[in-house]
Structure 1
Amino acid sequence: MRAPIVLLHGWACPASYWNPVAGLLREAGREVLNLDLPGYGTPLEAGFEWTVENVAAVFALELSGRSPVHWVGHSLGGSIAATIAARYPRTTASLTLVGMVPVAPSAAAEEKLRRLFGGPGAPDEDAAEEMLAAWFRGGEEPQGEDRERFLAPFRLPPAVVRRSMEAGITGAAPDVPDLVSVRTLVVTGTRDGTRTPDAVKEFLLGHSAWSHELIMDAGHMVHWERPEACADALLRHVARAEAG
């Protein structure tokens, strides 16, 4: 039986933005699990400390009965997926990082996040709109019901938005990339500004065993803007992992 593909969403993002890719993967005969990060689908448990390491431990335990699985994470979800692959290798058949490599975001990106979402109160609509513009920069932003889909997570309890943002800025621990032993794919868009092209290139030069798929005319939401290209890359990647 082939391993499931597990999708982890990013900070302030809806798990449903994976739906176009998930549908294509299911059409190809794959089992897909689309998980909510803590606080995004159900309320946070009292006392839960929102860190990449803690969330990785939760998911590794939850999926231990289905292991190994193909972990796929976008942005913050990528930091969590990489941490699972590094700390819990028996759970992992392959790893795919979408819209990121496990290095710190640019100083400009961090400054914007803390300015817009670092306070104790709920962010206003203008802050959410500014993030959408950054995520889809140079491309076509979602409209109508799809736009509401992307704006809704910013209305979650402020503590969830703020704590998960801090986890996203902190990212995976420095030792994580070198502990990943499974076949790994990085998928980025040519318009993505959260990790500069030079930062991605420099990271991959130091991790020559990792594969890279650069998707043309896509920003940080590469899987939403170009779902066919992302699904094709994923299917090729998991097939190679299962064959190898």
Structure 2
Amino acid sequence: MAGSSVPLPFVDVREPTRPAADAAPAVLIHGWASGSVYWEPLASTLLDAGWPVWILDLPGYPPGELWPPGREWTLESAAASVAAAIATRTEAPVHLVGHSMGGSVSLTLAADRPDLVATVTLVGMVPAPPNDAFKRLLLSQVEQGFLDAGTKAKLMDSWFGPLLPEDARELLSSGFDVPFPVLSASATAAMTGVEPSVPGRVHAPLLVIAGSGDRVRSMDQMEAFVQAKPGVQAKPGRQLTVVPEAGHSVHWERPRECAEALGGFWRSSGPPPA
């Protein structure tokens, strides 16, 4: 578990007006240099469908939060912190939904604390190396000690597309404002990915939602991960939903399609154990 000096994630708990039967909370975990704001379209759609939604800002990411000096930001520390936040709010398993680096946090949590997890959904990611250009770009920025404006623009274009309206671009780029020690450490975590044994230790039903135009992970990587057989095959196992004409931030671009895929997956997986 996360130590007492490591911040817990900020959790925005939202309840639907008309809850669906046996609806476990959907815990939405953002990716690197991102934040809770880009979950809003999907969260609204899930709430309308009756699903409780918990939107997280990972440790070090909430505005104004100070990261404890000398503490390392890792996937393991982030996952333990999220697990502690979940355990303080419910004794029943939840549905984890992680985008990009948030998927690595979700997988790590599911491997270490299966008692807390009903299902796992990876949005725009699988545990495979990012493309070389993306990796070189991030490494150069980490080494120079700051993210320059040109790099931020390139990243935003690869995540959301170059035609993003300026007001939305300003809103969605707020994740770059976190303290650089957290930004650089979480970038390294995102590039390194999960510890090799993690995917095989995740036995909860697992869904991958991918945009057909994702420029960060290839469709070949998505399909290879879904087709691989973990040590213990959960039912319904691993599934892939591809959303046409969407990119890396498919949950932002196509929230209704994502919500429909999630709802169908959660219902097919059965109610979480009591």
What TM-score do the two structures reach when normalised by structure 2?
Answer: 0.83
- The equivalent of 2:33 in structure 1 is 12
Q: Is 2:149 the counterpart of 1:121?
A: no
Once superposed, what is the RMSD of the aligned Cα atoms? 1.6
What are structure 1's unaligned runs of at least 5 residues? none
Q: Structure 2: how far apart are the matches of 1:13 and 1:237? A: 25
Q: Per the alignment, do residues 242 and 46 of structure 1 end up closer, same or farther by CA in structure 2, a change over 3 Å counting?
A: farther
Q: State the Cα distance separating 1:2 from its structure 2 match.
A: 2.8
SS at match of 1:102: coil
Q: Is 2:75 the counterpart of 1:47?
A: no
Q: State the Cα distance separating 1:189 from its structure 2 match.
A: 0.5
Q: Structure 2: how far apart are the matches of 1:23 and 1:207? A: 34
- The equivalent of 2:260 in structure 1 is 232
Report matched runs for 1:15-164 at 5 Å: 15-41=36-62, 42-65=65-88, 66=90, 67-115=92-140, 117-137=141-161, 141-164=163-186
What amino acid is aligned across from residue 151 of structure 2 in structure 1?
A: A
Q: Structure 2: how far apart are the matches of 1:29 and 1:45? A: 38
Q: State the Cα distance separating 1:154 from its structure 2 match.
A: 1.4
What are structure 2's unaligned runs of at least 5 residues? 1-21, 231-236
Q: Structure 2: how far apart are the matches of 1:2 and 1:153? A: 30
Q: State the Cα distance separating 1:152 from its structure 2 match.
A: 1.8
Report matched runs for 1:158-173 at 5 Å: 158-173=180-195
Q: Per the alignment, do residues 217 and 155 of structure 1 end up closer, same or farther by CA in structure 2, a change over 3 Å counting?
A: same
Q: Structure 2: how far apart are the matches of 1:183 and 1:144? A: 38
Number of residue-to-residue matches in the alignment: 241
Q: Per the alignment, do residues 212 and 147 of structure 1 end up closer, same or farther by CA in structure 2, a change over 3 Å counting?
A: same
Moved segments of 4+, more than 3 Å: none
Q: Is 2:239 the counterpart of 1:223?
A: no
Contact 1:122 1:157 survives alignment (8 Å): no
Q: Structure 2: how far apart are the matches of 1:171 and 1:46? A: 24
What amino acid is aligned across from residue 77 of structure 1 in structure 2?
A: G
Q: Structure 2: how far apart are the matches of 1:149 and 1:47? A: 30
